[in-house]
Amino acid sequence: MVVFHVHRIAQRLNHSTLSSVLLHDSGHVSLLKMGSSRSINTAAKFRTWGLLPSNCSNVTSPCTSRTSYGPLSRYQIFLGLRHNEYCTTPGNGEKQTISVTFVDKDGEEKQIKVPVGMSLLEAAHENDIELEGACEGSLACSTCHVIVMDVDYYNKLEDPTDEENDMLDLAFGLTETSRLGCQVIAKPELDGIRVALPAATRNFAVDGFKPKPH
Amino acid sequence: MALSRALSFYRSFSTVPSQSLRVCIVGSGPAGFYTADKILKAHEGAEVDIVDRLPTPFGLVRSGVAPDHPETKVVTNQFSRVAQNGHCSFIGNVSLGSSISLAELRELYDAVVLSYGAESDQALGIPGEELAGIYAAREFVWWYNGHPDCRNLAPDLKSSDTAVIIGQGNVALDVARILLRPTAELATTDISCHALAALGESSIRKVYLVGRRGPAQAAFTAKELREVLRIKDLSIEIRQEDLSKTPADEEELKNNRIKRRIHELLSKAATPATSICSPGQKELHFVFFRKPDRFLESDCRNGYIAGLRMERTILKEDVGSGKKIAVGTGLFAEMECGLVLKSVGYKSIPVDGLPFDHHKGVVPNVQGRVLSEAYGDAQVEKGLYVCGWLKRGPTGIIATNLYCAEETVASISEDVLRGAVTSRSGLSKPGREGLLQLLDSRNVKVVTFGGWEKIDNEEKRRGSLKNKPREKLTTWQDLLEVATK
């Protein structure tokens, strides 16, 4: 179990490292955007849970050898900054949770408590909600697509990055308030958020499939 | 609507035990594994066997997904959990059509789902296509991904500095990226060692991506395009005039988010008229509105490619489909090249006894149920289903198979419920035991999931010595030896 977690953390950090540096390279994205909810909050979460040492360079280094996209220093500085700012909110003792409602393909609702810092993808899996996660949150697929049902909550989320938008491009049944579940990280302002799983029936329609009546 | 009814229908009996249901899935790629997963969830007690002609599972996740896309391969974790389910077996090294016939499989199992994909290629059908130096992109992909059937491809990357890729989909971008990315970056991926060595010595410096239509019709997606545009020290050439939009293009882009974002990326990367690339720098040229006309043979090397003649095209709306099609203008130009990769689509191959629509290149089916004829008065083939590329044609992403499998399994479930799958006599089919017996009598050495895990461990061990996630075993002999050790 521990091995599994560390592996996932490495994957996530690897990914966030990658995308942060890529965003930086593109030169079109402000520094503020670099500290998007995805890369930073996820890392902060692992710290909160005591899974990462305070200096995470030894966790990220094996991954950078795989991607070799560039220096980490700025990314790490950001990690540190956001980490401090972030960790004062939930406190060190009990985990703060928010309420999240998932509405499944048949319209059935399930309300769950999600610890602040956890992604909706992980929360769904911990609560046996059928949300696919083919790439396990490494931002390489669109299977954890969720639709934020209230636009006010949607607006409380940070804008999707180019990389998330690239995946949303391929999501079935995309809507104006679609997000990837792995990129929506629980935070106090999101308490009460409702998200719908896209209905399978719409998927083929989007893909050019026209169901014929019997 | 029919599908939605079918789905709610199948959910409503998803807990009904179906002890006797024995299903064989042919092909262990995403379509096969998603089908297995959905059958196991919908039918408690069902036994599912996934056969594959290779000793290794996961189909294109292993031999198609580019080595520098490790995150896309994470889905194999999920597939492995399916294979480790007590009611599921992976049976590798079993080739439908030679180890066992389709008719035999249908005798052995209540239901057979064919999801063996598309292992051949569309041809361009132009003169010179048989010249040496011209490959299907699929072969090249299999080569760098260590597929045992293409490990000896040995594409010539040394006698020319120019490669032409025909087609503008994601496979085209994948092969362009592999040709152009610094090999130091590829060295830490699971790329096959023979490909890494050949790419390290490659003299290919210029890659042309040729498409018949324009940027508004290109089939690649934003992630892959963004990636290739960001390759280190690569000069990108996209002609400004190709990016001008007709009112029809404007309309198409307005309604299509993917195409709109692609067009924006291309526009940002379009070459200013004054840009000059530094000597020795690698170049990627996006060539729109050009149709390959004929391949040109080398004067000094008999039977080898030396160039390509292309015809300038313009777009016309096809009256029937309303689609924009490219039509020739009669203006031709020639270019030199020493390597051509045709990336114009994969093609499925039928097996004996399988109805096949040669025009569409798929098995005729209704929601995954195989039909006896492609056209006219067709009957449903009892207990025979399709999923994935064999069902829909070779398009879509891994996740497309999730929904594709959901549909096929809904059809199976519906048929099970109305008694159209299991035999009326109540006698259960031999299933796995029968299959293994038959294969044994033919001296077919099957590879179980345990056998694959031995391959997996060995590949990871070899990879760890080179700072790679794995070093793939690329010969049939090595694969079988390690699997049965």
pLDDT in tens, B172-219: 999 999 999 999 999 999 999 999 999 999 999 999 999 999 999 999
B371 - beta bridge partners?
B380
What is the sign, positive or negative, of the torsion defined by CA atoms of B212, B214, B220, B223?
A: positive
CA distance, residue B75 to nearest chain A CA (Å): 5
Interface of B with A in 337-366 (CB under 8 A): 366
CB within 8 A of A213, min separation 6: which ones? B1, B2
CA distance A9 to A59: 8
Cα maximum dimension of chain A: 62
Across-strand partners of B44? B17
* Four-residue CA torsion sign, B115, B223, B205, B466: negative
Query: What percent of chain A stands above pLDDT 70?
Result: 49
- Whether the pLDDT of residue A58 is over 90: the answer is no
Residue of B nearest to A174 (CA): B257
Phi and psi dihedrals of B342, rounded to 5? -90, 115
What pLDDT shows up at residue B236? 94
Percent of chain B predicted with pLDDT > 70: 94
For A48-180, strand residue ranges (E) read: 97-103, 109-115, 145-148, 178-180
Q: Which residues of A touch B71 (CB under 8 A)?
A: 11, 15, 135, 138-140
DSSP letters for A111-140: EEEEETT-BHHHHHHHTT-----TTTTSSS
Q: Is A13 part of the contact surface with chain B (CB cutoff 8 Å)?
A: no
pLDDT tens digits for range B42-57 = 999 999 999 999 999 9
* Residue A29 clears pLDDT 80, i.e. is over it: no
DSSP-assigned letters across all residues of B128-171: TTTSBTEEEHHHHHHHHTT-TTSTT-----SS-SEEEEE--SHH
Q: What is the DSSP letter of A37?
A: I
Q: Is the pLDDT of residue B354 over 70?
A: yes
Residues B85, A58: Cα–Cα separation, whole Å: 35
Q: What are the C-alpha distances in Å from B265 to residues A31, B167, B214, B252, B390?
A: 21, 18, 14, 16, 33
Q: How many angstroms separate the CA atoms of A75 and A33, rounded?
A: 12
What is the band of B321 on the pLDDT scale with cuts at 50, 70, 90? confident
Contact assignment for A135 to B397 by CB distance below 8 Å: no
Q: Band of the pLDDT at B319, cuts 50, 70, 90?
A: confident
**How does residue B19 score in pLDDT terms, banded at 50, 70 and 90?**
low
Rounded CA separation B128/B293 (Å): 10
Cα-Cα-Cα-Cα torsion B56, B62, B64, B69, nearest 10 degrees, comes to: 180
One-letter amino acid at A100 equals V
Are the C-beta atoms of B402 and B34 separated by less than 8 Å? yes
Whole-number mean pLDDT of chain A?
A: 66
Round to whole Å and give the CA distance between B349 and B352: 10
Is the minimum CB–CB distance between A175 and chain B shorter than 8 Å?
no
The pLDDT of A35-61, averaged and rounded, is 37
Which of the pair, A207 or B60, is modelled with greater confidence?
A: B60
pLDDT band at B346 (very low <50, low <70, confident <90, very high): very high
Interface of A with B in 39-68 (CB under 8 A): 65-66, 68
Sheet holding A178-180, edge to edge: A109-115, A97-103, A193-196, A145-148, A178-180
Chain centroid to Cα A154, Å, comes to 14
DSSP three-state, residue B123 = coil
Pairing of strands A178-180, A145-148: antiparallel
SS3 B400: helix
User: How close, in Å, is residue B459 to chain A by CA atoms?
Assistant: 17
Predicted confidence (pLDDT) at residue A71 exceeds the cutoff of 80: no
Query: Nearest 5 degrees, angle CA B139-CA B142-CA B148?
Result: 110
Contact A120, A42 (CB under 8 A): no
Residues of B in contact with A142 (CB under 8 A): 397, 399
Taking the C-alpha atoms of residue B438 and residue B434, their distance in angstroms, rounded to an integer, is 6
Domains, chain B, ordered by start: 22-119+348-444 (3.40.50.720), 122-272+280-344 (3.50.50.60)
Supply the pLDDT for residue B323.
83
Q: How many CA atoms lie within 13 A of B317 on its CB side?
A: 8
The residue to which tokens 């492995």 are assigned: B80
Give the pLDDT confidence score for residue A204 in this predicted structure: 36
Is the Cβ of B314 closer than 8 Å to some Cβ of chain A? no
* Binding site residue list of B: 31, 60, 96, 168-171, 212-213, 224, 389, 396-398
**CA angle B247–B253–B258, rounded 5-degree value:** 165
pLDDT band at B375 (very low <50, low <70, confident <90, very high): confident
> Is B65's pLDDT higher than 60?
yes
| Nearest CA-CA distance, residue B270 and chain A, Å | 15
Residue B179: closest CA among B152, B161, B153:
B161
pLDDT grade for B275, boundaries at 50, 70 and 90:
low
Buried b (16+ CB within 10 A) or exposed e, A67-89: bebbebeebbebbeebbeebeee
For residues A6-17, average pLDDT: 42
Q: What tokens appear for B212 in the block?
A: 């018949």
Chain A neighbors of B402, CB-CB under 8 A? 132, 134, 143
Name residue A73's beta-bridge partners. none
Mean pLDDT of B386-401: 95
B90-112 mean pLDDT = 97
DSSP B427: P
Binding-site residue numbers of B for NADP(+) are 168-171, 212-213, 224, 396
Strands B22-26 and B111-114: parallel
**pLDDT of A86:** 43
In Å, the largest CA–CA distance within chain B is 79
Q: Which strand ranges, in their side-by-side order, compose the sheet holding B206-210?
A: B134-136, B339-342, B162-166, B206-210, B282-287, B234-238
- Give residue-wise pLDDT tens across range B403-441: 999 999 999 999 999 988 876 666 778 999 999 999 999
Q: How far, in Å, CA of B245 to CA of A144, rounded? A: 34
Tell me the pLDDT band of B79, cut-offs 50, 70 and 90: very high
Which of B61, B75, B81, B366 would you mutate first to test chain A, the one with the most A CBs within 10 A? B75
Q: Which two tokens stand for residue A175?
A: 């809507």
Among B11-15, B139-143, B237-241, name the one with the lowest average pLDDT: B11-15
Residues of B within 8 A of A11 (CB-CB) are 71, 74
d(CA B335, CA B359): 32
Q: Rounded distance, CA B110 to CA B16, Å? A: 17
- Half-sphere exposure of residue B292, counting CA atoms within 13 Å on the CB side? 28
Question: Residues B441-452, buried b or exposed e (16+ Cβ, 10 A)?
Answer: eeebebbbbebb
pLDDT number for residue B331: 97
Predicted local confidence at residue A16, as pLDDT:
40
Beta bridge mates, A24 = none
B281-303 average pLDDT score: 96
Pick from A91-100, A105-114, B12-21, B355-364: least confident? B12-21
Cα B373 versus chain centre, distance: 26
Query: Measured between CA atoms, how close is B2 to chain A, in angstroms?
Result: 5
Q: What ipTM describes this predicted complex?
A: 0.89
For the segment B128-148, what is each residue's pLDDT rounded down to a tens digit? Answer: 999 999 999 999 999 999 999
Determine the residue type at B185. E
Structure tokens at B360: 């569409």
Give the model's pLDDT for residue B274. 56
Instruction: Point out the least confidently predicted range of B14-18, B142-146, B159-163, B215-219.
Output: B14-18
Percent share of chain A, pLDDT over 90: 44
B429-472 pLDDT, tens digit each = 899 999 999 999 999 999 999 999 999 999 999 999 999 999 99
Nearest residue, CB atoms, A169 vs list B69, B74, B258: B258
Q: Is the predicted pLDDT of residue B350 greater than 60, yes or no?
A: yes
Instruction: With CA atoms as reference, report the closest residue to B11 among B42, B46, B34.
Output: B42
Contacts of A15 in chain B (CB under 8 A): 71
Q: Which domains does chain A have, with CATH numbers?
A: 95-194 (3.10.20.30)
State the average pLDDT over residues B92-113: 97
Q: With bands split at pLDDT 50, 70 and 90, how would you rate the model's confidence at B322?
A: confident
Residue with tokens 């899996």: A125
Q: Which residues of B touch A164 (CB under 8 A)?
A: none
Q: Is A140 on the interface with B (CB under 8 A)?
A: yes
pLDDT-derived band at B476 (thresholds 50, 70, 90) equals: very high
pLDDT at residue A39 in the model: 38
Average pLDDT score over residue span B223-246: 93
